[in-house]
Amino acid sequence: MTDAVIEGSEVDLTHPFVKQMVIQLRALDSYGTYDTWSDEKVLDPLILTKERKREIPVVGDPDETVIARLKAYYNALATTIELQCGLMAVPVVNLTHEGFGRAFISVGKLIVLDKTLRDVHRFGFPSLEKLIQDSEKLINKAADMVTTYREVAKL
């Protein structure tokens, strides 16, 4: 992979979702490798610039590290939805070995997010700003759905 692309963008690094993403990624590190890493370095593999994306084959199976990052992303989404709504949100990620599948987040009996996953081996975002924008959109839609169908979400 090419050089680091996140360079001390303090505003973005203090965003609540970015903080949650760092927490989720650090939680995956059972050997303490990330202990000495900056938040920028922990987040960096999620940023796939055009140059980085070009280095990844179009067809390929995702490795365990990429799958772990994907699951951390949906865990961060669920945690943020839960904080916003006050009800427990549960992420479910189901993937084939080829990197196709589905991810959804439920709050009670209500499915608040449902995404079809393709080409998981190329999972990432063009920039930290795009990560924040996409995540906020999903979180806001989910929170609106919980507000609208709160009785179902409480089941």
> pLDDT tens digit string along 50-97?
888 888 778 878 889 899 999 999 999 999 999 999 999 999 999 998
Residue-wise burial string across 120-136, b where 16 or more C-beta atoms lie within 10 A, e elsewhere: bbbbbbebbeebbeebe
At residue 30, does pLDDT exceed 60?
yes
- Residue 121 pLDDT greater than 50, yes or no: yes
So what's the pLDDT on residue 1? 45
What was the pLDDT predicted at 111?
97
Tell me the average pLDDT across 104-118.
Answer: 96
Task: Please report how the helices 64-85 and 16-27 are oriented relative to each other, as an axis angle in degrees rounded to 10.
Answer: 130
Mean pLDDT of the chain: 90
- The number of beta carbons lying within 10 Å of the beta carbon of residue 49 is 14
Q: Which domains does the chain have, with CATH numbers?
A: 10-153 (1.10.3100.20)
CA distance 119 to 97: 11
- Which has more confidence, 48 or 102? 102
